[in-house]
Amino acid sequence: MRIWIKLLVGSALGIALALVAGENELVYGSLPWLERFALAVGRYALVPALFFSIAIGVHDLRKEGRFWQLLLRNAAVMVALSAFVIAAGLAATVAFDPGRIPIMAAEQDALAGFDVAGSVMELFPGNMFAALVGDGSFLLPVYVFAFFLGVGLSYDRNYSKRVVELVDSLSRVFFHVMSFFVEILGFVMIALSASWAIRFRDAWAMEVFGEFVLMLGALAALLGFGILPLLLYLVRPKANPWAVLYGSLGPAIAAFFSGDVHFSMPALMRHAKESLGIRRRSSAPTLAALGAFCRGGSAMVAAASFVVVFNSYSGIGMSLAEIVSIGVGAFGVSFLLARHPGGGAYVALAALCVGFGRGFEEGFLVLRPIAFYLIAVGAFLDAMMASLANYASARLGGFVEGKSVGQHI
């Protein structure tokens, strides 16, 4: 059975469980723990697989003299794609106004800030090996360590040959270990989708978010399954966007119900290699960069949500200049979400409210009942952007081996 089918079946079973369970106290009491456990299982093998794959990828790219070329190409793709998605989301929100949302009292959330200075400090801990010790939420220190290890492997082949072979072997071994956990994600998805379905049912019963939920879902589906794949027609050599879309379904499902970029990363890595035919030396560094900095999907959801919240508070609406400033702010925030692999869209919304709220700094609390939905849609778009951008960058650089749709996992 193909992986995306396993994930879809697991998600359907979880939704069915939520519908059948109703108000069962045992189910309600167990799901929070099961959800945390499911996320931990999905992330379990990610760090070692990414670490060794990035290190050997950097080594191979430097040996070929193509590392900086790949880095600059990835940066250009990330900037262009994030700007496009945010602009499209704002334009759709203004054009198809979902209406006002009643203002409701809500308690202040304890949201973690960006802490840019602290994050930069963590990139270089006092002990390099300390970068590998953590809960797997903030992976930039791991990427920095892997980069310097990859650079060090190019020092002198007489000394580094055996280490290169060891790192290469460890990369393949941990990729195989990670593949096992991707295979069992279908079972893991049952808990995640059940929890998601219960939250959705409760939010829908409030009867105040319906139009916005439908608009945001339709916009995400149009972008993820239509417009973004069509952009691959701009890539040369010519690519088949629908084959790439088919190879991205598994990570998209995992990202949507988990709301976590790192949870979907193992599926992204495996599909990149086995479905899309992207070589490891391009895919590993690119996916690491995209997962950390290409969060335009979450930023777009935050920008659209802010416009809706602001219009719900204020009857004067927003000028074109204000909408553009919101888009620019969301674009900047999209590069600061590396510390928030889960919850990115809601954290970004809170940041926009604080920065542009003009007296409505706590406006994000209005959407707290559907925060899980905003996070899910943002993570879905982030995963689709990562998969498509990874393929586009590899295609432009000649790092893609031909794979037919029948060979997709």
What is the largest distance, in Å, between two alpha-carbon atoms of the chain? 71
Q: Please check whether residue 61 is in contact with residue 151, taking contact to mean a CB–CB distance below 8 angstroms.
A: no
Q: Give the integer Cα–Cα distance in Å for 344 and 299.
A: 8
92-118 pLDDT, tens per residue? 998 888 877 876 655 555 565 677 788
Q: Please check whether residue 27 is in contact with residue 203, taking contact to mean a CB–CB distance below 8 angstroms.
A: no
- What's the pLDDT at 134? 78
* Element of type H or E holding 110: none
- Helix, strand, or coil (residue 161): helix
Would you kindly state where each structural domain of the chain is located, as residue ranges? 3-407
Residue 384 has pLDDT above 60, yes or no: yes
Find the DSSP H helices in 235-361: 241-246, 249-258, 261-274, 280-293, 296-313, 320-333, 344-356
Distances (CA, A) of 226 to 77, 149, 246, 268, 386: 18, 39, 12, 19, 15
Q: Give the integer Cα–Cα distance in Å for 31 and 35.
A: 6
pTM of the entire structure? 0.93
Nearest to 150 by CA among 281, 27, 240, 48: 281
Q: Give the integer Cα–Cα distance in Å for 172 and 145.
A: 19
- Lowest average pLDDT, out of 31-35, 281-285, 310-314, goes to 310-314
Banded model confidence at residue 240, pLDDT cuts 50, 70, 90: confident
Q: Give the integer Cα–Cα distance in Å for 222 and 220.
A: 5
Residue 394 has pLDDT above 70, yes or no: yes
Q: Give the integer Cα–Cα distance in Å for 304 and 89.
A: 6
- What's the pLDDT at 108? 58
- What's the pLDDT at 109? 59
355-370 pLDDT, tens per residue? 887 777 788 888 899 9
Q: Which two tokens stand for residue 140?
A: 């930039």
- What's the pLDDT at 217? 94
Residue 342: phi and psi, rounded to 5, are -115, 145
Q: Which two tokens stand for residue 137?
A: 């939420």
DSSP 278: B
Q: Give the integer Cα–Cα distance in Å for 379 and 248.
A: 13
Residue 400: phi and psi, rounded to 5, are -110, 130
Second-level CATH architecture of 3-407: Orthogonal Bundle (1.10)
Measured over the CA atoms of residue 205, residue 209, residue 215 and residue 218, the dihedral's sign is: negative
Buried b / exposed e along 238-252 (16+ C-beta atoms within 10 A)? ebebebbbbbbbbbb
